[in-house]
Structure 1
Amino acid sequence: MQFDALREVVQEDEWGCGVACVASILAVSYARARQLLVRHKKAKIDADESQGLELHHLALALRDGGFPVVADWDEPKPYQPGTIVLIGRARGGVEHEHYIVSVGGGWFMDPWINYPNENRQAGLRESFPKGKIFYVALVPKPGSYPR
């Protein structure tokens, strides 16, 4: 398991899983990652009219932090450390989507591993949560390494 460059970050917002993944990769606080993402979203993370973050919001914030990525709709195997993965249900809406980040060796940092417990915790998991499937990944460009 390669967890030396990435750390567990708990999501603080209802829709803040992407914020936690960006904070983990860039080695910044959750608050700093939220600032980067709010700037690109042009709204609060949990804004009623647009809950959560879209893929391009994360890609732009990571680029600002010196970690360029590309979107890949083909599931990468193996996952490189620093790959953000959007998972969800086969027939679920946005409320079933969740971002996790690969730490290498087949493990993922999940920013709300004990969902739906309100006392949120981040943790490592060896596979996607039960009932979740791969949607898309933000893969580090060659030469990009998590801080």
Structure 2
Amino acid sequence: MIQKFEPLRVVAQKDEYGCGVACVASILAVSYAESRRLLMKKKSGVQIDDTEVPGLDLHHLALALKDRDYQVVADWDEPKTFQPGTIVLVGRARGGLDHEHYILSVGGDLFMDPWINYPNREREAGLRKGYPKGKIFYVALVPKPGSHPH
């Protein structure tokens, strides 16, 4: 039986490349603004939507979560089911950075998508079954045993 990720808060991304910010905010049960501050420290103060270095890398997310005692490990092998609290990076088979997107597993094949109504500029978050249309699995940040969201 798959356990549902209970502390889930559906969080919409506010920045163009803020999907990772929203996933971290949901796991840590903090505001989007607080999550953004944590992640910008890990990105050495560079803005999330900086045109030269947009978005967040896996290590930015992992380090920000680690600072709040939520340990993750990267896994490049797609599992049959995702552990709740796993951040999944999806993208197009031949896509660039603007085609990558972080979503958060809440159990089974249900995900919190921080921009579920893409490409609408009024970003909304919601729950979706499976990956967004046209996206494939890239990598996942899986919680280590004993890591629990706050």
Interval containing the TM-score (normalised by the shorter chain): over 0.9
Stretches of structure 1 lacking an aligned partner (at least 5 in a row) = none
Q: Secondary structure at the match of 1:134?
A: strand
Provide the C-alpha distance between the structure 2 equivalents of 1:99 and 1:105, rounded to a whole number of angstroms.
Answer: 17
* Number of aligned residues: 147
Shift of 1:3: 4.6
Provide the C-alpha distance between the structure 1 equivalents of 2:80 and 2:29, rounded to a whole number of angstroms.
Answer: 25
What is the aligned partner in structure 1 of residue 25 from structure 2? 23
Equivalent residue letter for 1:118: R
- Percentage of identical aligned residues: 71
What is the aligned partner in structure 2 of residue 81 from structure 1? 84
Provide the C-alpha distance between the structure 2 equivalents of 1:104 and 1:145, rounded to a whole number of angstroms.
Answer: 14
Provide the C-alpha distance between the structure 2 equivalents of 1:133 and 1:10, rounded to a whole number of angstroms.
Answer: 21
Q: Secondary structure at the match of 2:63?
A: helix
Which residue, out of 122, 127, 139, partners 2:125? 122
Shift of 1:2: 2.0
Shift of 1:145: 1.9
Shift of 1:144: 1.1
Q: Secondary structure at the match of 1:33?
A: helix
Q: Which moved more, 1:72-81 or 1:22-31?
A: 72-81
Q: Which moved more, 1:93-102 or 1:73-82?
A: 73-82
What is the aligned partner in structure 1 of residue 35 from structure 2? 33
Provide the C-alpha distance between the structure 2 equivalents of 1:63 and 1:98, rounded to a whole number of angstroms.
Answer: 21
Once superposed, what is the RMSD of the aligned Cα atoms? 1.0
Equivalent residue letter for 1:74: D
* Contact 1:38 1:45 (8 Å CA) reproduced: yes
* Contact 1:101 1:110 (8 Å CA) reproduced: yes
Shift of 1:106: 1.9
* Contact 1:37 1:57 (8 Å CA) reproduced: yes
Equivalent residue letter for 1:44: Q
Q: CA offsets per residue over residues 13-60 of structure 1, 9 Å max, x none?
A: 000000000000000000000001000001110111100000000000
* TM-score calculated relative to the size of structure 2: 0.95
List aligned pairs for 1:1-147, cutoff 5 A.
Answer: 2-42=4-44, 43-147=46-150
Stretches of structure 2 lacking an aligned partner (at least 5 in a row) = none
